[in-house]
Chains A and B, each alone.
Chain A
Amino acid sequence: MNMRRLPSVILLAVIMAVVAAPTVAADAAMDPKAAEVMKQIDAAEAARKKAASVESEWTTTGKLIKKARAAESKGDYDKALGLAKEARLQGEIAYQQGASQSELRIPAYLKY
């Protein structure tokens, strides 16, 4: 290689790297799986909060969300997605449970 051209080549390489970096990051951000995971985690968190609003949150839901976030941060999107979906389902069932218990119901086995 012509040594005179070396600085130009390095400069070009740097420019390409700078130009390419955001593109690579954007590609990662655009990863449809990652986006789906975040969407599911947000939905799970919303479902958990909705259950809590009727004093019916389960102890397991928050733990699942935490695990989903950890899996997402490690790039294990499949695992994160499964955990987030389970957490969302739990939050939804817990809310239904709380809503179904809004009235006092004394069970039949307690005879007055």
Chain B
Amino acid sequence: MSGHCDGGLRSNIEPNCLEKREIMKKTLNKMAILLLLGGVVFTAQATTPEEDRAAFVKHYKFRFPDVPMEEYPNGAYAIDKIGRENWEAIEEFPPYEPFIDEGQEMWDTSFANGKTYKDCFSDGPGVASQYPRWDKKQGMVITMALAINQCREANGEKALKYKKGPIVPLLAYMAFESRGQVTNVVIPEDDPRAMEAYEKGKKFYFTRRGQLNFSCATCHVQNTGLKVRTEVLSPSLGHTTHWPVYRSKWGTAGTLHRRFTGCNRNIRAKPMKAQGEQYRNLEYFLTYLSNGLELNGPGARK
């Protein structure tokens, strides 16, 4: 009977063969759906950090073919000619310089117990390229700001606030001493929690939130180079290289997490806690994207 199931007009085929064909058709349909779903899942979840970074590089190279990669640490000024002229004029007398001096003084001043920051950061102040990093022992992403406060608390000092204030000069000095180093975020393979933190940061980046229903990617991937009021939207490559930043809008210098907070508020989403898990993971993901780009902090922005 099975010999009659391989062709011919539908009317000439035996009923059993029709059943078999129906079963085969259903099976193929199911396989197609599974393959399709598999493809979506692969696109959405199974990309490696290096594939993510390559996709961002490809995207910006396509959008801004004349902008060399080494320009991206300059943020929007890599793609905004008029803004760049103003920025270069500001950089002649950098508004962040007093913060660097103040930070150096803080670095050199002993804690009440006689120890200094040098006792925590044995490689000296120029260590920005070592952050953010995965700390296996603590099971979390450690940023430079968090490391500063962990150092202070270990030496009996009060933790500093994370968005503005005294932590900024210290970060500015450490960033200045790190200039010329290259972003080099490592996601260790021996601890799956590190990849989980990276993925959480990525998820945060692509999640739409707030009354405006924007994700980070809406502004900094989809609409990079376009304007929101008078501001040119910057690319995400290079977003993390130049912190802390003296922002004319703030009238002072502030931290990356202060900027995260501002971004979230702009889209009318309630911000997360500065140096909380969500923003640290976001920093981990975002900084990984800038791997290979030079550190040029502290910076000045509008």
Which A residues have a C-beta under 8 Å from some C-beta of B? 52, 55-60, 62, 90, 94, 97-98, 101, 103-107, 109-112
State whether the Cβ of B158 lies closer than 8 Å to any Cβ in chain A: no
With A104-B44, A104-B45 known as contacts, the answer to whether A59 contacts B210 (CB < 8 A) is yes
- Complex contact B268–A58 (CB within 8 A): yes
- Complex contact B217–A97 (CB within 8 A): no
Question: Which chain A positions have C-beta within 8 A of B202?
Answer: 104
Docked complex Cα distance between A58 and B209 (Å)? 8
User: B21 to chain A: closest CB distance in Å?
Assistant: 36
How would residues 40 to 64 of chain B score, 1 for a CB under 8 Å from any chain A CB and 0 otherwise?
A: 0001110100010011101100000
**Secondary structure at chain A's binding surface: helix, strand, loop or mixed?**
loop
Question: Which chain A positions have C-beta within 8 A of B43?
Answer: 106, 112
Docked complex Cα distance between A106 and B211 (Å)? 20
User: B255 to chain A: closest CB distance in Å?
Assistant: 20
How would residues 257 to 281 of chain B score, 1 for a CB under 8 Å from any chain A CB and 0 otherwise?
A: 0000000010011101000001000
- Complex contact B208–A97 (CB within 8 A): yes
- Residue of A55, A90, A101, A107 near B278 (CB, 8 A) is A55
User: B215 to chain A: closest CB distance in Å?
Assistant: 8
- Complex contact A110–B55 (CB within 8 A): yes
Docked complex Cα distance between A46 and B211 (Å)? 18
7 A-B pairs with the lowest CB-CB distances in the bound complex, closest first: A57-B270, A101-B207, A104-B203, A58-B211, A112-B55, A59-B268, A58-B268
With A57-B270, A110-B221 known as contacts, the answer to whether A101 contacts B265 (CB < 8 A) is no
- Complex contact A97–B206 (CB within 8 A): no
With A107-B221, A112-B47 known as contacts, the answer to whether A90 contacts B206 (CB < 8 A) is no
Number of A-B contacts (CB under 8 A): 64
With A97-B209, A105-B206 known as contacts, the answer to whether A110 contacts B268 (CB < 8 A) is no
Question: Which chain B positions have C-beta within 8 A of A111?
Answer: 55, 58-59
- Complex contact A106–B206 (CB within 8 A): yes
- Complex contact B213–A97 (CB within 8 A): yes
User: A32 to chain B: closest CB distance in Å?
Assistant: 32
With A58-B210, A58-B211, A112-B51 known as contacts, the answer to whether A107 contacts B222 (CB < 8 A) is yes
- Chain B interface residue count, CB cutoff 8 Å, equals 29
State whether the Cβ of B283 lies closer than 8 Å to any Cβ in chain A: no
- Complex contact A60–B55 (CB within 8 A): no
User: B193 to chain A: closest CB distance in Å?
Assistant: 17
- Complex contact A58–B269 (CB within 8 A): yes
Question: Which chain A positions have C-beta within 8 A of B51?
Answer: 112
| Closest Cβ neighbor of A103 among chain B residues | B44
Question: Which chain A positions have C-beta within 8 A of B55?
Answer: 110-112
User: A37 to chain B: closest CB distance in Å?
Assistant: 24
User: A53 to chain B: closest CB distance in Å?
Assistant: 12
Instruction: Name 22 interchain pairs, CB-CB below 8 A, sorted by A.
Output: A56-B269, A57-B269, A58-B211, A58-B268, A58-B269, A59-B265, A59-B268, A97-B209, A101-B207, A101-B208, A101-B209, A104-B45, A104-B199, A104-B202, A104-B206, A106-B43, A106-B47, A106-B206, A107-B222, A109-B59, A110-B59, A111-B59
B residues 224-283 in Cβ contact with A at 8 Å: 265, 268-270, 272, 278
User: B164 to chain A: closest CB distance in Å?
Assistant: 19
- Residue of A55, A101, A106 near B44 (CB, 8 A) is A106
User: B161 to chain A: closest CB distance in Å?
Assistant: 21
B residues 270-298 in Cβ contact with A at 8 Å: 270, 272, 278
- Complex contact B270–A59 (CB within 8 A): yes
Docked complex Cα distance between A52 and B54 (Å)? 34
Docked complex Cα distance between A59 and B202 (Å)? 23
Docked complex Cα distance between A105 and B222 (Å)? 14
- Complex contact B56–A110 (CB within 8 A): yes
